Amino acid sequence: MTNKKAMPKDLTVYQDLGIKTDSHPFKSCLNAGLLNDVDEFFVKEVQEYWKRNYGKSVDPVLNIAFMNLTGIKDNRITPRQVLRKKILPLFNDYDMSIGYKDKNLYDVMINPTRSPKTVLKNINGNYFDTNNNSVDTASANKLLLEHNSDLIIKPSRTNNGKRIVKLKVEDENIYLDGEDVTIHHLEEMYAKNFIVQEAIEQHSSMAVPHPSSVNTLRLYTFRWKQGIKYLPSFARFGGNNHINDNTGTGGLCLGITDTGKFLNVAVDDDMRTYTHHPTTGYCFADLNPIPNFDEVKQFVKDCHKNILHLDVISWDIAISSDGKPIFIEANFSGPLWLGQFITQQPPFGDFTEEVLQHVSDKLKTIQPKLMKKDRLKKQKKEMKETRGQVDELKAQNKELKEMLKKKDKEL
């Protein structure tokens, strides 16, 4: 692991450059030691670039951090807030994302040509088989017992990597962590809205850094000028012997080139860098390229064609033992800003200037509709400010009444 010690500095050094020192990206970059070298001339170039292409200056903290990490001065590195609150809401209709992100509806809404075989669905407490036929609880239990193999069960409406569990079916018994369970136990764990699928046998190139997890590619696509474009992407490898590859459970991300070769340095959630996997010790430089990578890229482009309301999508794709892509899930609001440090490229690559100018023009007439989470956060902030104003008015009113009361006594 490489982790430079952050240099303590008066925060005004950063604030004078337009950096918001209370932001999550700033704190992450500072703690990772990626703000030690600050080139003010480069910051000036960054601001000139953004004023020219976007119409206003921006927080340059990620540009500085990117320079410290890679040694590359890239004006196109895009601030988190610009991505999350300006660019993505203009391209993605987040009110429509709820239906698209339900894993139980992937076969209906996206219909990928290759995905893990679904054994059982639970939607709002009702069971369905692989062909979406309604079944009762006894039949659902029978469907599970018919698969004498490893199964994966996970919530169908979340994408945070949590509560993904491996089930083992053997001799007409279901085992979870070695314990004999029934479908009723699963109902107690998940209540409703979950999916059970056959486990994937992944390609050796993807398995070798951390064999305990199904390791996936996080591939980005972008609908732009009547076509679907492929954007800089990366691979995700699990950690701490967990079965999923989510960074929130100790996983790492490793950039991949446009030809499917892996970069040599992985990044974790705290922006720390690794040349070797911290759990297995595997050297990332020894990884073989992703097989059939052109086919993999075309696969996600084809999947995107069926999602019409969202133009920027990240796809979790596994690679099967035969080297073919397998659809796992679609994401519409992942940390695209952090991906820049993993791929060592700006998110929109060669399209950056065109995209920024397009967004700048749109923002003159359109107020982007934020993700639901950000809308609620904004509403809470506005309510807090309103309560503060009301409290201030009450205090002024009380003070005024006391002054009038005192005046009456004097009279």
* DSSP 8-state symbol, 10: -
Bridge partners of 150, per DSSP, are 168
Spatial strand order of the sheet with 262-267 comes to: 273-274, 262-267, 252-256, 227-237, 216-224, 312-319, 325-331
Distance CA(73)–CA(37), nearest Å, equals 12
| Residue 143 tokens, joined | 């469907």
Q: Which residues contact 297 (CB under 8 A, 6 or more apart)?
A: 219, 230
C-alpha 31/C-alpha 210 separation (Å) is 27
DSSP state, residue 271: -
Inform me whether the pLDDT recorded for 398 exceeds 90.
no
Q: Which two tokens stand for residue 109?
A: 């809404």
pLDDT score of 411: 63
Q: Please choose, from the candidates 182, 174, 126, 181, the residue with its C-alpha nearest in 3D space to the C-alpha of residue 151.
A: 174
pLDDT at 72: 96
pLDDT, tens digit, 9 for 90 and up, residues 280-294:
999 999 999 999 999
Distances (CA, A) of 224 to 95, 295, 296, 297: 20, 20, 19, 16
Q: Determine the average pLDDT of the residues in 121-147.
A: 96
76 Cβ contact partners less than 8 Å away, ≥ 6 residues apart = 49, 346, 348, 352, 353
Cα–Cα dist 122/171, whole Å: 24
> pLDDT tens digits for 319-368?
999 999 999 999 998 789 999 999 999 999 999 999 999 999 999 999 98
Query: Nearest to residue 296, comparing CAs of 216, 351, 236?
Result: 216
pTM: 0.89
Question: Rounded CA gap, 269 and 279, in Å?
Answer: 15
pLDDT score, position 389:
83
| Residue labelled with tokens 């950056």 | 352
Query: What digits encode the pLDDT tens for the residues 210-234?
Result: 999 999 999 999 999 999 999 999 9
Strands (E), 77-149: 118-123, 126-128, 134-135
